[in-house]
């Protein structure tokens, strides 16, 4: 699996609906690719931010996070999906 393919499967992985036949390759790639590990983390973090802002818990979330991490997430977001 390539980094590009991993990104395409990311949403299904995060939702727990990824095809078991693909899951092995996905997790193997994560094990060997720090870039994708970081990308996955930032993706999950972005979902958390979205959820927190909807629930009005954003201030709470923001105080528990270092600001440089927030900016790293913003910077790593794909331009087009
Ligand atoms: Zn990768």
Distance 59 CA to ligand 1 centre (A): 32
Distance from residue 66's CA to the centre of ligand 1 (Å)? 25
pLDDT-derived band at 61, boundaries 50, 70, 90: low
**Residue 42 within a domain:** yes
State the total domains in the chain: 1
Give 22-51 pLDDT, tens digit per residue. 999 999 999 999 999 999 988 888 888 777
Expressed in angstroms and rounded, the spacing between residue 49 Cα and the centre of ligand 1 is 24
Distance between Cα 53 and ligand 1 center (Å): 29
Tokens in use for 58?
């954003």
Is the per-residue pLDDT at 17 higher than 60? yes
- 80, pLDDT greater than 60: no
Domain that holds residue 16: 3-76
Q: Does residue 81 belong to any structural domain of this protein?
A: no
Contact 10, 38 (CB under 8 A): no
Are the C-beta atoms of residues 71 and 37 closer than 8 Å to each other?
no
Local structure of residue 61 (DSSP, 8 states): H
pLDDT band at 3; cut points 50, 70, 90: very high
| Residue given tokens 């094990």 in the structure block | 31
Gap from CA of 64 to ligand 1 centroid (Å): 28
Task: Quote the tokens at residue 48.
Answer: 């958390």
């Amino acid at each position: 699996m390539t980094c590009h393919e991993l990104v395409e499967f990311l949403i299904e992985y995060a939702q727990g609906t990824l095809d078991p036949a693909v899951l092995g390759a996905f997790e193997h790639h994560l094990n060997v690719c720090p870039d994708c590990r970081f990308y996955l983390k930032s993706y999950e973090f972005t979902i958390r931010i979205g959820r927190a802002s909807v629930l009005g818990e954003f201030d709470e979330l923001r105080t528990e996070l270092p600001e440089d991490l927030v900016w790293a997430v913003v910077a790593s977001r794909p331009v087009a999906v």
